[in-house]
């Protein structure tokens, strides 16, 4: 009979080195064999507590592993959920051992500069490292998210009232990507990864900070990166179940008639984008947002934008004069605004755990990738999810990401305001 063990680690120590040691030690408590892989996550606090704090945290965690051949990936997150509760500060980890499992890891740098190349480099490492001989194949990924760019002598800014300066910055946005800042390119990177590793089911999310979108970190073994994709490829005999849910309700569709590089909206219905969006789409004066300052994007989380089929959901990343800066590249010209309410967000938890999942047949472990939008909208009530996931009585780990990605039933979703579930299971048939 196949053997499977999993343990979830946890630390709230504010010292990066001690936290790294504690989180791995607690993850290994329920394992009597060396893990096949480790997923490691932390909030941004270690990076801001001291210089190279995040690197010290990751190094300490990696050094605490029983041997150096164990692949470890992860990243910075807005918060996490495990059996202890829901947390916006600290670190967590999932360690897994299985005697019928092959594992390989890879990474690619420079996602914002060249997302497809970064994905190809990541996939190449995975293919070179190990043969994945088992039938069930899974790819877990963590990728850099959009970050507010830094302007010389001005600092971080994503709202520019001046039309002249706004136009100038619009044309300068490609330069930000050279510094690993600005608009996110998760969609292109995941699309490329999906095309190369077609036999894998995919689930992952964008590393982020505490919602300010200043920085994000990706972990690969003992190293930290700032603008990369890291991925863990798993093949096993156990069955893989994946579910996704987004309970956003469409409010209004509109047509984008002019863009810059498909990332900045210049005109909507042949009208200047800012004016049309606030007056005709949202129905509120733009002056309402001036009081919120340059980092108003927490407010923009309350009116997501996306494709009508909800395979792509994002939010406004900024305003440059008359132009609207998106967090990600537009996949098409027709978009819609969506509404959010706590009742529907809570129902999305029920969707993936009970109504659709059918995961009652001996689940082994679970991973959840949850939008940071749930934290913003629900606050402490986001712990509602534990009411459902705790009933499975298995080791589980959930992270709060800026953007979630999943390929399910051969369809690729890259979107905010979703909740994605992965379950390793002994009996249920594979779903793809």
User: In a structure prediction context, what are the per-residue pLDDT tens digits for the chain, which is 432 residues long?
Assistant: 578 999 999 999 999 999 999 999 999 999 999 999 999 999 999 998 888 999 999 999 999 999 888 999 999 999 999 988 999 999 999 999 999 999 999 999 999 999 999 999 999 999 988 667 888 999 999 999 988 888 777 777 788 888 898 898 888 888 888 888 888 899 899 999 999 999 999 999 999 998 888 899 999 999 999 999 999 999 999 989 899 988 888 999 999 999 999 899 999 999 999 888 888 888 766 666 555 444 445 567 778 888 998 888 888 888 898 999 988 888 889 999 988 877 787 788 777 775 544 555 678 899 999 999 888 778 777 888 887 788 778 899 999 999 999 998 888 998 888 999 999 988 644 443
Residues 238 and 382 in one domain: yes
User: Do residues 127 and 80 both lie within one domain?
Assistant: yes
162 within a domain of the structure (yes/no):
no
| Residue 135 and residue 190 in one domain | yes
- The pTM assigned to this predicted structure is 0.91
Q: What is the pLDDT of residue 358?
A: 53
Give the integer Cα–Cα distance in Å for 412 and 409: 8
Contacts of 11 (CB under 8 A, 6+ apart): 18, 19, 20, 22, 23, 26, 90, 91, 92
Same domain for 257 and 405, yes or no, is: no
Strand partners, 107: 230
Q: Are 370 and 400 in contact (CB under 8 A)?
A: yes
End residue of a domain, out of 285, 313, 339: 339
- Pair 329, 187: CB distance under 8 Å: yes
Q: Which of 290, 317, 339 is the last residue of a domain?
A: 339
Q: What are phi and psi of 202, to 5 degrees?
A: -125, 135
Widest pairwise Cα distance in the chain: 69
131: phi then psi, degrees, rounded to nearest 5: -80, 135
Domain termination residue (choose one: 282, 308, 339): 339
Whether 101 is covered by a domain: the verdict is yes
Cβ neighbours of 75 (radius 10 Å)? 32
Say if CB 23 and CB 61 are below 8 A apart. Answer: yes
Question: Looking at the domain assignment, is residue 169 inside a domain?
Answer: no
b vs e for 281-290, b when ≥16 Cβ sit within 10 Å of the residue's Cβ?
Answer: bbeeeeeebe
Q: Is residue 188 part of a domain?
A: yes
Domain that holds residue 319: 249-339
**DSSP reduced 3-state for 138:** strand
Q: Hey, what long-range contacts does 407-413 have (CB within 8 A, 24 or more apart)? A: 407/194, 407/200, 407/201, 407/202, 407/203, 408/201, 408/242, 408/243, 408/244, 408/432, 411/311, 412/190, 412/191, 412/194, 412/202, 412/311, 413/244, 413/310, 413/311, 413/312
Asked whether residue 256 falls in the same domain as residue 302, the answer is yes
- The reply to whether 28 and 90 lie within a common domain is yes
Same domain, 315 and 347: no
Q: Is residue 393 part of a domain?
A: yes
Q: Looking at residue 205, what is its pLDDT?
A: 96
Looking at the structure of the chain, the number of domains it has is 2
The residue behind tokens 């919120």 is 292
Q: Are residues 60 and 131 in the same domain?
A: yes
Q: Report yes or no on 166 lying in a domain.
A: no
Please say whether the beta carbons of 208 and 372 come within 8 A. Answer: yes
Contact 53, 47 (CB under 8 A): yes
Residue 424 falls in which region: left (phi positive, over 0), alpha (psi -120 to 50) or beta: beta
């Amino acid at each position: 009979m196949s053997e499977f063990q999993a343990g979830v680690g946890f630390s709230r120590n504010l010292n990066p080195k001690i936290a790294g040691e504690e989180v791995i030690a607690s993850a290994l408590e329920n394992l009597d064999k060396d893990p096949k892989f480790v997923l490691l996550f932390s909030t941004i606090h270690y990076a801001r507590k001291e210089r190279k704090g995040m690197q010290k945290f990751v190094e300490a965690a990696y050094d605490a592993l029983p041997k150096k051949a164990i692949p470890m990936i992860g990243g910075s997150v807005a918060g996490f959920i495990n059996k202890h509760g829901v947390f916006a500060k600290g670190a967590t980890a999932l360690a897994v051992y299985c005697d019928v499992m092959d594992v390989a890891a890879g990474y690619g740098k420079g996602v914002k500069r060249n997302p497809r190349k970064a994905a190809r480099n990541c996939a190449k490492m995975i293919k070179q490292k190990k043969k994945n001989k088992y039938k069930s194949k899974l790819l877990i990924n963590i990728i850099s998210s959009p970050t507010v760019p830094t302007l010389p002598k001005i600092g971080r800014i994503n709202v520019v009232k001046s039309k002249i300066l706004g136009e100038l910055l619009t044309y300068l946005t490609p330069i930000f990507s050279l510094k690993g800042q600005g608009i996110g390119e998760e969609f292109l990177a995941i699309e490329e990864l999906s095309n190369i590793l077609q036999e894998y089911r995919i689930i992952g999310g964008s590393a982020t900070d505490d919602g300010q979108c200043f920085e994000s970190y990706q972990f690969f073994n003992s190293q930290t990166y700032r603008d990369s994709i890291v991925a863990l490829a798993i093949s096993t005999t156990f069955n893989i179940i994946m579910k996704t849910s987004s309970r956003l309700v469409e409010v209004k569709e509109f047509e984008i008639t002019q863009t810059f590089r498909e990332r900045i909206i210049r005109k909507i219905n042949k009208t200047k984008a800012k004016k049309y969006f606030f007056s005709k789409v949202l129905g509120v004066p733009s002056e309402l947002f001036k009081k919120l300052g340059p980092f108003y994007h927490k407010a923009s989380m309350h009116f997501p934008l996306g494709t009508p089929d909800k395979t792509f959901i994002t939010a406004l990343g900024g305003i440059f004069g008359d132009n609207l800066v998106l967090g990600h590249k537009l996949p098409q010209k027709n978009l819609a605004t969506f509404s959010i309410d706590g009742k529907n967000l809570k129902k999305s938890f029920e969707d993936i755990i009970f109504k659709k999942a059918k995961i009652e047949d001996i689940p082994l472990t679970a991973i959840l990738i949850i939008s940071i939008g749930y934290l913003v909208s629900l606050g402490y009530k986001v712990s509602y999810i534990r009411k459902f996931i705790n009933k499975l009585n298995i080791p589980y780990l959930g992270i709060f990401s800026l953007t979630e990605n999943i390929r399910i039933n051969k369809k690729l979703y890259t979107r905010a305001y979703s909740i994605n579930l992965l379950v390793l299971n002994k009996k249920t048939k594979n779903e793809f």
